[in-house]
Structure 1
Amino acid sequence: MKPTRDNVSFRFAVRDRGAFLFTRDDGATARTALEAHVRASGPGSLLIIDFVGVRAMTNSFTDEFLGKFYLSLAAGDCGVAGVQLVGLDEETRDAVTVCLERRKQIAVDGDEDTLLGDAALLADTYEHARRLHSFRATSLAEAMSVSPSNANNRLKRLVEAGALQRERTSGPESGGKEFMYTLPGTSRNE
């Protein structure tokens, strides 16, 4: 299947695997197809994982498909700028949430612009990031009244989940690293 792509995103239709997704083996097959889709689409764009038409998924399928995909995403093995899940209904959202909570992972619900999974601490951080749109960690720390190291720890998890993009900028004169953070699919100049 050839990826569909607009100027900044490409879509993977989970429904192509079936409306009822049950086994860990099926999850592994779907994850392999997703990883091949990502490789074929090229680096640097927003990946949209589309669940429209999927009526039910077991925890085993979801863990093997999404849980393990998000592990490779956090490790930097995917080469995408960000990931959003769309088309989730109540049933499939529950399966995704359970999977992510068990693995202490998060994901972006692209339909609702919210975090799913182990998001209690990060939901507020993500909301501030959405409002700031393009920012440095120090700006986020100031906006949230937290320490810069606390902001950096939170931002690291959001970047690993594909909820934010990070781009290195010229650092302060002290020689340290400095990054700009943006929402995937947007540029720093927007």
Structure 2
Amino acid sequence: MKPTKDKLSSRFTVRDRGTFLFTRDDGASTRTALETHVRACGSASLLIIDFTGVTAMTNSFTDEFLGKFYLSLAAGDSGVAGVHLVGLDEETRDAVAVCLERRKQIAVDGDKGLLLGDVTLLADTYEHARQLRSFRATSLAEAMGVSPSNANNRLKRLVEAGALKRERTTGPDGGGKEFVYTLPGASRDE
């Protein structure tokens, strides 16, 4: 499978691995193919994992493929700034949601702009982030009416899942380290 990439994104097509994906071994080989794809594409703002044409996935396949990929993403081992899952139908979306809920992970449904998985506190945070588009943690905390430390904790999980990207900047007074958060694939100036 040849990697496809433009300046902002790269696309991994899961359908190339089959339409019904069911074993843990298949999940491991698909994750290996995804990791190879990511290395071949180099750095892109957004990795798109495309499930179009996949009709079903078992929980064991999904856990081995996505669950473990999101572990490496959270650890910062993948070199990916952001991830969107696209082309999910009701069946495959349910498999992804179950996997992520069990692992206490989250992912972005790129077609719907919603979080999947363990989204108890983060769905509202992600929606505010989407509305703000480019912001500092203090701006998000103010918009949500939560403490800055609460906002930082939520933002950390969204960054680990590839739902947001974070860039270091200097504080407004010229000192201290601060971060600006944006949606993957979007520039800070949009």
TM tier, shorter chain?
over 0.9
Aligned to 1:140: 140
Distance 2:49 2:55 in 1: 15
Identity %: 83
Distance 1:158 1:60 in 2: 24
| Structure 1 residue ranges without an equivalent (≥5) | none
Deviation at 1:103, TM superposition (A): 0.1
Aligned to 2:103: 103
Task: Tell me the amino acid that sits aligned with residue 119 of structure 1.
Answer: V
Aligned to 1:116: 116
Aligned to 1:152: 152
Aligned to 2:41: 41
Deviation at 1:172, TM superposition (A): 5.4
Instruction: Establish whether residue 26 from structure 1 lines up as the match of residue 26 from structure 2.
Output: yes
Distance 1:45 1:111 in 2: 17
| Structure 2 residue ranges without an equivalent (≥5) | none
Instruction: Establish whether residue 125 from structure 1 lines up as the match of residue 125 from structure 2.
Output: yes
Aligned to 1:12: 12
Aligned to 1:92: 92
Query: Which stretch has the larger CA shift, 106-115 or 164-173?
Result: 164-173
Q: Over the residues paired in the alignment, what is the CA RMSD in angstroms?
A: 1.1
Distance 1:177 1:97 in 2: 35
Deviation at 1:5, TM superposition (A): 1.5
Deviation at 1:43, TM superposition (A): 1.5
Cα deviation, 1:111-156, whole Å, max 9, x if unaligned, reads: 0000000012100000000000000000000000000000000000
Distance 1:171 1:57 in 2: 46
Cα deviation, 1:7-49, whole Å, max 9, x if unaligned, reads: 2011000001100000000000000000000000001420000
Distance 1:28 1:121 in 2: 30
Task: Output the TM-score relative to the length of structure 2.
Answer: 0.97
Distance 2:143 2:132 in 1: 9
Distance 1:3 1:178 in 2: 34
Distance 1:61 1:156 in 2: 27
Q: Answer yes or no: is the 8 Å Cα contact 2:10–2:44 preserved in 1.
A: no
Q: Answer yes or no: is the 8 Å Cα contact 2:7–2:44 preserved in 1.
A: no
Task: Output the TM-score relative to the length of structure 1.
Answer: 0.97
Q: Answer yes or no: is the 8 Å Cα contact 2:56–2:91 preserved in 1.
A: yes
Deviation at 1:173, TM superposition (A): 5.0
